[in-house]
Structures are given as structure tokens and as C-alpha cells.
Amino acid sequence: MPKRTRTVVAAGLAFGAVLFAVATLGPSSPATPSSAATPIIPVAGGGAPVLPSGGSLEGLIASLQTRLESVPTDHVSWATLGLAYVQQARTTVDPSYYPKADGALARSLEIDDRDNYLAYAGLSALAAARHDFPAAKTFAERGLEINEYSAILHGALSDAELQLGDYDSAFAAVQRMLDLSPDTASLSRASYAWELRGDTERARELMQRALADAPSPADRTFALVHLGGLAFDNGDAVTALGLFNDALAASPDDIAALAAKARAEAALGQIDTAVEHWTQVVERAPEPGYVAEFARLLESIGRIDEADRHWAVFDATQQLFAANGVLPDATATLADAERGRLDEALDDAAQGARSRPFLDMHDAHAWALHLAGRDEEALQAIDLALQLGTRNARFHFHAGMIAVALGDTARADRELSTALSINPHFDPLSVPVARAALAELRTGR
């Protein structure tokens, strides 16, 4: 299934970045921010909150609610509360916070609908969290009409444009964000932009800069997790595990770091420890990407009943998300396709390819089409997933298996070899399939 997720490219950063950058980016499994991030108090003229040290997300929400009881016309506090609710939904995997965010942001705009770019940042974050990227783009653009120098809004715009498949515009928006504010949030987005284009060395350099500039333990943890993710996704599970351990040393309660550590442990054959850590992850944060990844690990070691229980949690969480306005994503599409729910997977994938034509969604669409026996269409979809040259082992594995089905043995060999050379640990169920298919191709020659 997914490699690491960029649930938020700036997820895990101190709140000055996180609350303004809540957008689902890129492939895979979530980098869920720590609930111990730093609270926003006032907003400075440039659009970045002034951050006191210490505090928690729950404390921020409580303090904002107290503030609004005494000053109910404070539109900045209403907007900040809306952003905090979006982040709380992600941290707790409870999408019932999204309607609360909606209400707080609407109230902020009722009070001030002329100069309130902060509320539009919140609305963009909320739309992105619900996977409504056309709306996320519109809200970011409205905010930029008010304040064209807001680095955070340029980041939100780039997030939306990526998911909409407008890559040149997205990369330009990232550069504008970086020019305005070369900090951990913008450096992280720039790193991801280069990773998508297959330049992992440049991506690593930028994330190292983000680490060097990290102003807080949460920022440091975020950078270490994504540096480790770059190592893992390129086949170096040993280096990745060291970086994930460093991330946990900086922020011991960080879910993204613990999930990444469990992933690396499984790749290195430390299965019992990996299962123990994955169990802790999904008990604390039953985010669908995490639950699906753990279920697949359990399936790979023959613990089918346990895997089925986690798939039931996955399905229940998806229903809860849908009830709160969250559209299906690539993780849900792949999970349905792999479990034989092809009608649902194809419907969601076709809708996603139209409304959210990002690389991930093209890959999920391709795999659903392949499993349904529609390999000519699958080939077109997987070529869209590979269009930027992203070094993604899962994409190449899917391309290889589609090529096998089409009888294109040369491409099948090339794609499967590429997948295993990029990351021989990319998925516990898919790797043995890739190896077996490659061996059969070469034996049959």
C-alpha cells in the first residue's frame, strides 16, 4: 500500500506552519502532527502567528474558546479556532471537528469579510482536509487577493494545485512561498516538489536545511521523519530507522515517527517489535492509512483474523469520514481494489481522477482498472502516475504488473526491476509478488 503519507506537507511543524498548511499531499500514509505542537496567539502583520513556547492543541482550543466568550467579535480568534479544529480532526482522527471548523470560520467571515485572509487560509485547509481541492484552491486565491505576501497562502495554493495536477503552477507557488519565507514549512514543500520530480538528492538537501532551521522539537521531528522517509523510500531501511529513532527522541509521543519506526522495523525483519509499535499507533491514531498498512503487514505474516479486525476499523473510519464530508482518496481506492471491491474502487477512482488528478490517484485508478481486467486503460492511468519521474516503488510495481498482463515483457522486466531497486521493502504483500513475477519473466525467456 502507500509509502509514507504527506497528509500535510508541513504536518508536524510548529503551529505557525501547521495550522496554515493543512492539506493532504502526496502519496501514502500520514505524517500526523504531534498533539503537543505550539499554540498560536496573535497573528503578526505578515500572516505568521506569534508563537509562545509550550502548550498543546487542546490548550489552544480552550484558550481561544475562553477568549471568544469575552470578545465574541474577535475574527482572528474565530479563524484561528477554525484552523485548530481542522488540526484537531487530523490529530484525533475525528472528522466531527470539521463541521465545528466550518462554523468557526464562517463566524470569522461574518465579522470581517474584507481583510480576513486568515479565515480564507482556514477554509482552504478545511477544504483540503475534506479532499475538495478545487475549493481549497479557490479559498487560497481569495486569501491571496487580500494579502499577496502571505507565504502560508502560497503554500496552501501549491497544495491544492498539486492535487489538481497543475504541477507547474504548484511548483511556482512553492517557490513563491520559499522566496517570501525560507523556513521549515516552505523548505519542506520545496523538498517534496523535488521528490515528486525524481530528484531525491535535491529533496534531501532541502529537508536537511529544514532540519537545520527547525525552531522547535515538533519541527525537528517532522524533518527527521521525512528525511527518514526519503531514506526508506529509496531502500535504506537502516538509515531510516536511525532517523526515526532520532525523531522520537525529539518528540517521544509523535505518531508519525512511531509509525515510520514500525515500518522500518518490519522491513528489517524485526516483525514482533514492528507489530507491537503498529498496535500502539493504530490504538492512538486509527488513521486509515496507518490501519491499512498495519492490516497488510498482518496479512503478510498470516495473521488474517487480526488483519480482518483492522480492516473493519478502516471501513468504519471511512464511513465516519464520508459522513463529515470527506471524499475518498487513493488509500481508500487501493484498499477496496485489493480486497475485491472493484465496483466501489472503480467508481471512486474515476471520480478522483476527474476531481483530484494527482499522481497518487492515477496510480490507484490504474491498479483498480488492472484488477478489473481493463489493462489498456490501466496502462494510460499508470503512465500519468509516472509522468513526473517520481521514484515511487509502488507506481513502478503497478506498471510492471500491468505490463505483464499486456504481454509487454520488456517493460514488465524493467518496471519490476526498478520497483525492487528503488525500495525492496515497499510493501509486505506486493514485494513477494514482484519478485515472483520477475523470476517467472526471466525463467520464461
Q: How many CB atoms lie within 10 A of CB 272?
A: 9
Expressed as residue numbers, the domain containing 365 is 328-443
Contacts of residue 306, Cβ cutoff 8 Å, sequence gap at least 6: 298
Q: Are residues 299 and 379 in the same domain?
A: no
C-beta neighbour count of 167 within 10 angstroms = 18
Digit-by-digit pLDDT tens for the chain (445 residues) are: 444 444 333 333 333 433 434 332 232 333 332 222 223 333 333 333 333 344 578 888 999 999 999 999 999 999 999 999 998 888 888 889 999 999 999 999 999 999 999 999 999 999 999 999 999 999 999 999 999 999 989 999 999 999 999 999 999 999 999 999 998 889 999 999 999 999 999 999 999 999 999 988 888 999 999 999 999 999 999 999 999 999 999 999 999 999 999 999 999 999 999 999 999 999 999 999 999 999 999 999 999 999 999 999 999 999 988 888 888 889 999 999 999 999 999 999 999 888 899 999 999 999 999 999 999 999 999 999 999 999 999 999 999 999 999 999 999 999 999 999 999 999 999 999 999 999 999 997 5
H-only helix segments in 234-270: 237-250, 255-267
Query: To which residue does cell 484558550 refer?
Result: 63
Could you tell me the CATH number of the domain that includes residue 76? 1.25.40.10
- Shared-domain flag, residues 275 and 381: no
Task: Answer yes or no: do 109 and 188 share one domain.
Answer: yes
Global pTM reads 0.87
Instruction: From 427, 357, 368, 365, select the one nearest 392 (Cα to Cα).
Output: 427
Q: How many domains does the chain have?
A: 2
Residues 127 and 264 in one domain: yes
- Position 5 in a domain: no
Residue 3 lies in a domain: no
Within this chain, do residues 375 and 297 fall inside the same structural domain, yes or no?
Answer: no
Task: Read off the DSSP letter of residue 214.
Answer: -
Q: Does residue 117 lie within any of the structural domains?
A: yes
Same domain, 77 and 178: yes
The percent helix, strand, coil of the chain (3-state, each to 5) is: 70, 0, 30
Does residue 185 sit in the same domain as residue 301? yes
In a domain, 318, yes or no: no
Neighbours of 441 (CB within 10 A): 18
At 114, phi and psi to the nearest 5?
Answer: -105, -50
Nearest one of 80, 79, 6, 89 to 38, comparing CA atoms: 80
Last residue of a domain, one of 308, 343, 364: 308
- Site of grid cell 516538489: 193
